[in-house]
């Protein structure tokens, strides 16, 4: 862990007296950060995004909003969020709020281990849930689990080359997820139903390879000789979302990569399977809170659409943190805020 001088943002170099990044590392499918701050926030800055998020609270007095409920969070607590879950944090006091954060795409986890390792992250907290269901995303008393030591060791990643980082970071990610299995109670269920999980993996793998093509429950059920109802339930159990939402999330992630390397929005939309640009534009704003041009620099088409479409920008207080997501290997502001904003307007509140 950092020494006392590094921990104290009041005395460390030219850093802001209220926030300091201690580590911020990005690979192709995963982002890891370590941050400490002392800024009291006046709102939860609720948001959602199309990737997984882990937050380990080292210290601080904070409340987390998770899927409609508020939970007080203490030190040594891990929070696990699947894609699409609305969440946010409120910092109650100026006591140092220190946390490790990981954002990752499911593809960062090896296919042969993905079902098992992601089984500990609750997939039933989308939409309206009970307070008890929301609690399933919270892992308290993790101080002696070895998790903090693994996260501390991950800070050495900042000294690695890009190629080495891309190979090593998934190993650390899988180690963090593996630490949850003995505490989750899911491992026995996963092992007992390995045949069914094998079918789930086969179906999800096929969708991962063909999501740029037209895919419906009908065509998928016919291909795998399953009823639509059974397939729908199986797919939701395996991914935590409906087939439609999963395909949209994969397309959105892909299109962001295309935009980051200079592909114009209309071409990027067509490449990932959107036949109508207006439909794509609406989906992009709904997913990320800003138009495609914000990630590509091409603003003309989107400016016209922004005038034609009604997009609401809810007022909210700026959040403490700026989340970085590895869409192109550089530190861009998080492209995944759910609150829609008009073209050329300031970004909505950022992540925890």
Residue for token digits 């989750």?
184
Residues 175, 150 contacting (CB under 8 angstroms)? yes
The answer, yes or no, to whether residue 129 has pLDDT greater than 80, is no
pLDDT class of 131 with cuts at 50, 70, 90: confident
Give 200 or 326, the one with higher predicted confidence.
200
Tell which residue, 33, 39, 125, 36, has the closest CA to residue 90: 39
The lowest-confidence range among 165-169, 190-194, 272-276, 316-320 is 316-320
pLDDT, tens digit, for every residue of 18-61? 678 888 999 888 999 999 999 999 888 888 888 899 999 999 99
pLDDT, tens digit, for every residue of 168-187? 999 999 999 998 888 875 43
Give dist(CA 315, CA 306) in Å, integer: 18
User: What is residue 127's predicted lDDT score, i.e. its pLDDT?
Assistant: 62
User: What is residue 259's predicted lDDT score, i.e. its pLDDT?
Assistant: 86
| Other C-beta atoms lying within 10 Å of the C-beta of residue 7 | 17
Q: In what order do the strands lie in the sheet with 69-73?
A: 69-73, 62-66, 87-91
Tell which residue, 78, 50, 77, 82, has the closest CA to residue 67: 82
User: What is residue 46's predicted lDDT score, i.e. its pLDDT?
Assistant: 83
CATH code 1.10.287.3510 for 4-184: no
pLDDT, tens digit, for every residue of 54-90? 999 999 999 999 988 899 999 999 999 988 888 999 9
Residues 288, 335 contacting (CB under 8 angstroms)? yes
Give dist(CA 184, CA 177) in Å, integer: 11
Q: What 3 state SS string does the chain have? A: CCCHHHHCCCCCCCCCCCEEEEEEEECCCEEEEEEEECCCCCCCCCECCCCEEEEEEEECCEEEEECCEEEEECCCEEEEECCCCCEEEEECCCCCEEEEEEEECHHHCCHHHHHHHHCCCCCCCCCCCCHHHHHCCEECCCCCCCHHHHHHHHHHHHHCCHHHHHHHHHHHHHHHHHCCHHHHCCHHHHHHCHHHHHHHHHHHHHHHHHCCCCCCHHHHHHHHCCCHHHHHHHHHHHHCCCHHHHHHHHHHHHHHHHHHCCCCHHHHHHHCCCCCHHHHHHHHHHHHCCCHHHHCCCCHHHHHHHHHCCCCCCCCCCCCCCCECCCCCCCCECCCCCCCCCCCCCCCCCCC
Give dist(CA 139, CA 56) in Å, integer: 9
Give dist(CA 22, CA 273) in Å, integer: 40
User: What is residue 295's predicted lDDT score, i.e. its pLDDT?
Assistant: 81
* Domain residue limits, the chain: 4-184, 193-240, 241-352
Best mean pLDDT range from 125-134, 150-159, 231-240, 324-333: 150-159
User: What is residue 206's predicted lDDT score, i.e. its pLDDT?
Assistant: 86
Give the chain's largest Cα–Cα span. Answer: 64
pLDDT, tens digit, for every residue of 281-327? 998 988 888 888 888 755 444 444 444 443 333 333 334 343 333 33
- The CA angle 117-122-127, to the nearest 5 degrees, is 145
Look up residue 247 and give its two tokens: 């395909």
| Other C-beta atoms lying within 10 Å of the C-beta of residue 301 | 16
| Other C-beta atoms lying within 10 Å of the C-beta of residue 107 | 16
User: What is residue 242's predicted lDDT score, i.e. its pLDDT?
Assistant: 87
Give dist(CA 115, CA 260) in Å, integer: 30
User: What is residue 343's predicted lDDT score, i.e. its pLDDT?
Assistant: 31
Tell me the angle at which helices 243-260 and 277-288 cross, rounded to the nearest 10 degrees: 90
The pTM score is 0.55
pLDDT class of 338 with cuts at 50, 70, 90: very low
The answer, yes or no, to whether residue 104 has pLDDT greater than 90, is yes
């Amino acid at each position: 862990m950092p020494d006392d001088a590094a921990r104290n943002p009041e005395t460390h170099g030219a850093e802001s007296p209220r926030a300091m990044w201690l580590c911020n590392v990005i690979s192709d499918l995963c982002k890891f950060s370590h941050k400490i701050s002392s800024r009291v926030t006046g709102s939860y800055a609720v948001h959602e995004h199309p990737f997984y998020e882990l937050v380990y609270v080292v210290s601080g007095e904070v409340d987390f909003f998770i899927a409609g409920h508020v939970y007080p969070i203490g030190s040594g607590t891990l929070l696990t969020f699947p894609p699409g879950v609305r969440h946010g944090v409120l910092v109650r006091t100026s006591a140092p709020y220190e946390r490790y954060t990981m954002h990752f795409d499911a593809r960062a986890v090896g296919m042969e281990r993905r079902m098992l390792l992601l089984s500990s992250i609750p997939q039933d907290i989308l939409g309206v849930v009970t307070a008890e269901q929301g609690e399933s995303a919270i892992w308290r008393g993790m101080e002696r689990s070895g998790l903090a030591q693994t996260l501390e060791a991950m800070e050495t990643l900042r000294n690695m080359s890009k190629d080495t980082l891309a190979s090593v970071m998934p190993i650390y990610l899988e180690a963090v997820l593996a630490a949850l299995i003995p505490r989750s109670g899911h491992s026995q269920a996963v092992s007992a139903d390995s045949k069914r999980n094998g079918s789930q993996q086969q179906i999800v793998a096929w969708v991962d390879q063909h999501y740029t093509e037209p895919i419906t429950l009908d065509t998928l059920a016919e291909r795998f000789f399953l009823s639509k109802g059974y397939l729908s339930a199986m797919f939701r159990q395996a991914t935590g979302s409906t087939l439609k939402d999963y395909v949209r999330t994969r397309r959105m992630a892909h299109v962001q990569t295309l935009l980051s390397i200079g592909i114009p929005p209309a071409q990027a939309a067509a490449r990932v399977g959107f036949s109508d640009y207006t439909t794509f534009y609406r989906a992009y704003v709904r997913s990320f809170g800003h138009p495609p041009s914000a990630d590509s620099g091409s603003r003309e088409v989107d400016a016209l659409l922004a005038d034609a479409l009604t997009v609401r920008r809810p007022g909210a207080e700026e959040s403490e943190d700026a989340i970085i997501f590895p869409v192109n290997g550089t530190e861009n502001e998080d492209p995944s805020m759910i609150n829609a904003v008009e073209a050329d307007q300031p970004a909505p509140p950022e992540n925890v």
